[in-house]
Structure 1
Amino acid sequence: MNDAMSSEKMLSVGQLNRRVGRLLEEGVPVLWVTGEISNFVRAASGHWYFTLKDERASVRAVMFRGKTALLDFVPASGERIDVRARVTLYEPRGDYQLQVESLRCAGQGNLYEQFLAIRARLQEEGLLDDSRKRPLPVFVRRIGVITSLGAAALHDVLTALTRRAPHVGIIVYPTAVQGRDAASEIMSALAQAQMRNEVDVLLLVRGGGSMEDLWSFNDESLARLIAASRIPIVSGVGHETDFTIADFVADLRAPTPTAAAELACRPRRDMLNEIAGFTDRLSRHQQRMLEHLSLKLDRLSGRLVSPAQKMRADRARIEHAARQLEGLVRATIERKRNRIDMLNQKLGHAAPNITLARNRVGALLARLERAADRCMSQNGRRFERVLTQFETINPRAVLGRGYAIVYDDAGHVQRDPALLHEGQTLKLELEKGTQPVRVIANRT
């Protein structure tokens, strides 16, 4: 007996478990197993550990992170599921276990496969791409809600909107959200909302349920209608772990109906705070503009010259010109006299007939005096004409005849009554002062 034992190869426990594990992996193909989840653990590493059981037995199962990332939901203890798994052996303990490749809720079978097929087709066409999804409007006036009138989701949405944004109007497009005709009714409600075009955002909501309960929201025709909607759509179907095709094609997916209402509009308090901020900035900007314009007005006022000052300056220039003219005439006469004196001297030396020459000089002097008088008279009359013209255009002289000058608030002279408007404040300048007036009516 000892010889027989010595002739056989001795195995360690680890080697034994390795052989058994190889036999299990090679001898048992990948298969589907159904059961109820218990002891579900979602590890920090991303792996899932749980026990799959029925009324007669249980088996441990593991689903690694690379596989869990492909699922759209997280199972919970107590749920019935179908798993596709390989049978393996956990060598350190010698326990066999299921290494899960994929899982689904029990009974989904064909429904889940249809769900995946529809999603794949829509994704291939680009209808699930984020680039085609419309942003929600910043300021919402009215929100449309597509759901059942008796659904708890409608109550949740109305409560959230009343609390968050009481200023937003709400329009409900009633429809069935479960049953054989639910998908067609939802499409009809959506088409009605598109045709009426009376809301800024649409909420497509209902409470949670099984995949069968939510199946109307996986309808492919409904998904395409949602994708083609001109109005942004927020999907809030089911609970946080529920996913439907409508969620993927909607412009925004909310985990619950209440969350959909909160995502669709900004809180009234935030909008009021923002408006208060804008008002404060506008007030500061207006104050800066008023200060700048006040400084500009002061500079322009300093450059203004009154009519009286202008008249005094013009009179001074005319008087200066008259003095220059008078000096020029005197200088001309002086030059003529000097020339006459010089000629008299030459004549005294050249002409033997002094009496005749003196008489001639006397005549010339008389002519010169007459010419000088005519020149002075002409220049005097010219000066009088210039002075008369100046007095004619003098606005003060015009005001003395009963006329008035009309100024607006900016100090501009107003010449056309058609440009005046009712209630406008004006200033009249009269001969002896100014008087503010107001336009009662413009009958031009």
Structure 2
Amino acid sequence: MEPLELFTRREILTVSELVGRLKRLTEQSFDFVWVEGEVSGLRQPASGHIYFALKDQGALLRAVLFKHQAALLRFRLEEGQQVLCQGRLSVYQARGEVQLVADSIEPRGAGALALAFEQLRRRLEAEGLFDPARKRPLPELPTRVAVVTSPSGAAIRDFLHVLHRRFARVAVAVYPVKVQGEQAPGEMIQALQDLAAWGWPQVIVLTRGGGSPEDLWAFNDEGLARAIAACPIPVVSAVGHEIDVSISDLVADLRAPTPSAAAELLVKEGAELLRRIQAVAARLLRAGRRLLSDRRRDLRALARGLGDPRRILADQRLRVDDLLSRGMHALQAGLHGRARETWRLRGALWASRPDRRLAIIQARQRDLAFRLAAAGQGAVQTPRARWQALAGRLQALSPLAVLGRGFALVQDEQGRVLRRAQETAPGRRVKVRLAQGRLGARVEEVEP
């Protein structure tokens, strides 16, 4: 008989093992779920992934939308949005958190396309891209038009039919692009850049026929809107039917409800143009006649004010002759005066005799040189005699001179000069300075 085990065997798990089992159980049980909630804690780092949380009144669930799925969103996630997320539950093992790995997100209420359109519209409007003051005027009668559209669609046929019916002398260049699908915005942006670099078109028409909102969505691309705003050539947007409004329509310099309407807005009918030309010609003719009449009237008034030109010319000739005569007399008088002044200066120059003046100057120079030498010699000898006299007096008063006459200078050991015998005592040493040399001596006797 087997022994009875009172306690069950314990299974001890590590944290990683427990969280791993929870992860596998969660992913198997909730591999496809729809979750509704409010977006909270939204952030999108440089990796491109979108991290957020879904919350309601009772709970909060972490969620992530990876980069490749985020690129497919039709709208921009915003804080506080009510959304419906489809995905699978998982457990983030590093923190042991349950999170929703979203595959798709839909806004609650308005559709995703409508919400994306409204978000982009508000953002571009805030930047001023819809401002009428920014938009460029179209030429009155363009003769070179570029059309960016699908070459096989009905839009280009309708546009060309109406354009050439109204005015045949318009050159049209068609730039073929895709007008729906993921590649359509990039191709249309490239078309605008190429046409701007070419510089040939006076107007660019961006057009396509009608379709569903999904079919027309390429014309709501943000990059395309900015390319239209940056294009130096005026752009006409004619997308879909009259009820279809796209971001391209709002940014373009002119919005046409249909491709046919775009052609009608670009050019006037031939008959209407002819009437306008005739009206302008008639106004020019009337203005020219009125201007000519006014100029003739002004000319007659000027002629009356001027008088007879022949008489005026004769008076001017007499005045010129008088001025010439007075000028000649003044010139002759001036020449005579200059001649007299010249002869006077020549006489003064002859009288001054430069050679005589040079001799006088040389004599004065020699005299000054002699006086300067004499003064210099006296100035040197006088200070020298004074210096010699002072030196003799200084020599007579010098103690050394007294010593030279047989006297001596006696000093004690501290160098003090002894003037009386009482200033020393027998046995002390003294120093005796003679005219030449010194003596060291000892006092033997002192006589006061």
TM range (shorter): 0.3 to 0.5
Question: Which of these two proteins has the greater Rg computed from alpha carbons?
Answer: 2
What TM-score, normalized by structure 1, do the two folds share?
A: 0.42
